[in-house]
A and B are shown apart, each in its own frame.
Chain A
Amino acid sequence: MHLRAVALLLCLSIPGFTQAQEPPLDSIAQRAKPCTVCHGEQGRATPEGYFPRIAGKPAGYLFNQLTGFRDGRRFFPEMTFLVERQQDDYLRALAQYFADITLPYPKPIQTQASESALQQGRDLVLNGDPKRSIPSCQACHGEQLMGVLPATPALLGLSPDYLIAQLGGWQNGTRHALAPDCMATIVHELTAADIHAVTAWLASQEVPENAHPQEGFKTEPPARCGSIEVTRP
């Protein structure tokens, strides 16, 4: 039995031995196929719709989201339904699978926001607002805003609808990160106009070429975040 399994694995690992389009049957790729109906082939969802791209996001971040849906920190019943009876090891493997996928990003979609809103958004993203203790987004999400390993996500390459829904979710209590929930503290300082401005500017930015999450923080992040502290990639 063991020998046969090894033989099968060897066959499957030879390129061209299996069908060109389909992943090997007994693979994480095959197991991850249900995700791709919404999140796009290989998790490449574009900013056209609502569903976020998951390809290339830090594995720790994706894992925290999967357990978040499972354990009630995030509220999206369709996602919860898919992951609610899965164990950490499996969710970690699925997260790693999508984290390892490198794909080019499409161009951002045309923004409807006014020039002044974009200016306000750019200012808040890059400088924060010290008077309200709002740090710049770069302080945690990386200099290029493309995320920081192991568990901080990119902010570029997402749809404006998705970004607004996430910040709104933090404000009305349907999205939580692991405690201490640093994002919740920040988002509660934001006004509706701030959220519009920030998400419009982020969604209008082109993703730099070969962008990927940054290896660790260059300076100490401005707040303690449970999502970074507990993650074991």
Chain B
Amino acid sequence: MKRRYLIVAVVAVALVGLALWLFPSPPDDYVEQPAGGTASAELLERGRVLARLANCHACHTARGGEPFAGGRAIPTEFGTFYSPNITPDAGTGIGGWTEREFWRALHVGISRDGSLLYPAFPYPSFTKITQDDAHALWEYLKTVKPVSRRPEPHTLRFPYNYRPLLRVWRALYFQPGGYKPDAAQSASWNRGAYLAEGVAHCNLCHVPRTGLGGPDSSARGRGANVLGWYAPALDRPTEAGLQNWSTDEIIGLLHSGRGTSAATLGPMAEVVYESVQHAPRADVEAIATYLKALPDASSASPPRERKSPAAEVVAPILDRGGTVYKDRCATCHGDAGEGRPPAALALAKNRAVTMDSAINMIRVVLYGGYTPGTAGNPQPFGMPPFAQDLSDQQIADVINFVRTSWGNEGSFIRSDEVLRARTGPLW
């Protein structure tokens, strides 16, 4: 037993040494700000919008808690992270920080005391943020109400609770540096790329992760499992790819949380509600321009081969599923899955229904949900929860029925996939 710990310790030290060698301290490229003076209203407004787009408010606010005072639990496979207090309170927040320290945290993921920050704080994306924008954020955060609230310590499993190992992670996955504009693209595209890849850190959810939680850059055309949901691929038109959408449709979905053929629920509903709906139209349009232009990477990762059940098994599944559909779903979603807009989306030819991962659909049938109550859609319609009303088998049956009816060509799911979705935090 002791021997094993020794080996682990030696390996860890060797890895840290290797990482130090591979990855020297990041460059200090902070440009000193002119001292004194008061921030202009324009600068503060820019900071406020950036804080929204970067989703600072959602992550750093506990349910019912004071804005930016931290304490929100973020469950991951490495353990639970608790967001820190970023109000200007001197004792427990960032009131005692200098702007240079704030910039270093944002730009290279190093905290005030020199410790490495976990990439649950999306500094690998925020590193693209310009110092101008970081300055606006800093000035804005200084204006929020200071709250004295000591952050809870993270509860991470070994070895992830050993911070110095983050050097290895950084050597593998972290590229410091600002956003480099692409001269071949329009200004709007570049603004969109800056916001989507940097400030709004879309990649944190929409790109698959390796076992160590780093972005799996080889996995194009695939989304990722996040917080019990599947964040569909943005470079795949049969998932969440927006290549074939009009820019107005994309803006509508991102601003209101609800489109004519798609709706946001789960973590994406949070992104719309807390973040994107507060951004000016020009910024959302820029993001839309960028997302629409993402190259279609479908061919890079062909859909998973799923075994279809034998024909004699399929018939009774569809029979049972059809009965559940008629009883519980048809009133709103229509006898032929045509929907009843705007109250209920069409299910026929709906990619959220047919895409390879069925977990989102399973969750929506189990727990229902309303799209976010945004300024653009303040009284959204909702889907009822059926967790307490239907068995795992009934839910699997009706999902199989919907995934394979009316021209839908989705794969079959099993009832144990429904069972597994009945546990874990709701998000």
A residues neighboring B (CB under 8 Å): 22, 25-26, 28, 30-31, 33-38, 70-73, 77-78, 80-87, 89-90, 93
Contact = CB atoms under 8 A, between A and B. Distances in A.
B379 A22 contact: no
B378 A87 contact: yes
A81 B282 CA distance: 31
B270 A37 contact: no
Given A37-B389, A85-B372, A85-B373, A80 B426 contact: yes
B273 A72 contact: no
Interface in B159-206: none
Contact of B367 (A25, A73, A78): A78
Nearest to A21: B331
Nearest to B272: A85
Interface of B: 62-65, 269-270, 273, 331-332, 340, 342-343, 367-370, 372-373, 378-389, 425-427
A36 B340 contact: no
Contacts of B370: 34, 82-83, 85-86
A64 to B, nearest CB: 13
Given A31-B379, A34-B368, A85 B273 contact: yes
Nearest to B270: A85
Q: Helix, strand, loop or mixed for chain A's interface? A: helix
Given A81-B369, A90-B379, A30 B426 contact: no
A179 to B, nearest CB: 12
B340 A25 contact: yes
B346 to A, nearest CB: 15
9 contacts: A31-B379, A33-B332, A34-B368, A37-B385, A71-B64, A80-B426, A81-B367, A86-B373, A93-B379
A77 B425 CA distance: 8
B269 A85 contact: yes
A213 to B, nearest CB: 25
Contacts of A37: 368, 384-386, 388-389
Nearest to A84: B63
Contact of A30 (B63, B64, B343): B343
Given A30-B381, A34-B382, A78-B387, A90 B426 contact: no
A83 B63 CA distance: 12
B375 to A, nearest CB: 9
A22 B340 CA distance: 12
Contacts of A78: 367, 385, 387, 426
Contacts of B427: 81
A78 B387 CA distance: 9
A89 B63 contact: no
A72 B311 CA distance: 49
With a 10 A CB-CB cut-off, give which of A30, A35, A71 has the most chain B CB atoms: A30
Contact of A31 (B64, B331, B381, B387): B381
A203 B390 CA distance: 27
Instruction: Name the 3 nearest CB pairs between A and B, nearest first.
Output: A72-B64, A71-B64, A72-B63
Contacts of A80: 63, 426
Given A34-B368, A81-B426, 19 more contacts: A31-B380, A34-B382, A36-B384, A37-B389, A38-B385, A72-B64, A73-B64, A78-B367, A80-B426, A81-B369, A82-B368, A83-B370, A84-B63, A85-B269, A85-B372, A86-B370, A86-B372, A87-B373, A90-B380
A142 to B, nearest CB: 29
Given A30-B343, A31-B381, A71 B367 contact: no
A31 B382 contact: yes
Nearest to B367: A81
With a 10 A CB-CB cut-off, give which of B270, B342, B381 has the most chain A CB atoms: B381
Given A85-B372, A87-B373, A90-B379, A77 B426 contact: yes
A81 B382 CA distance: 12
A84 B72 CA distance: 14
Given A25-B340, A71-B64, A78-B387, A90 B378 contact: yes
A151 to B, nearest CB: 19
Contacts of B387: 78
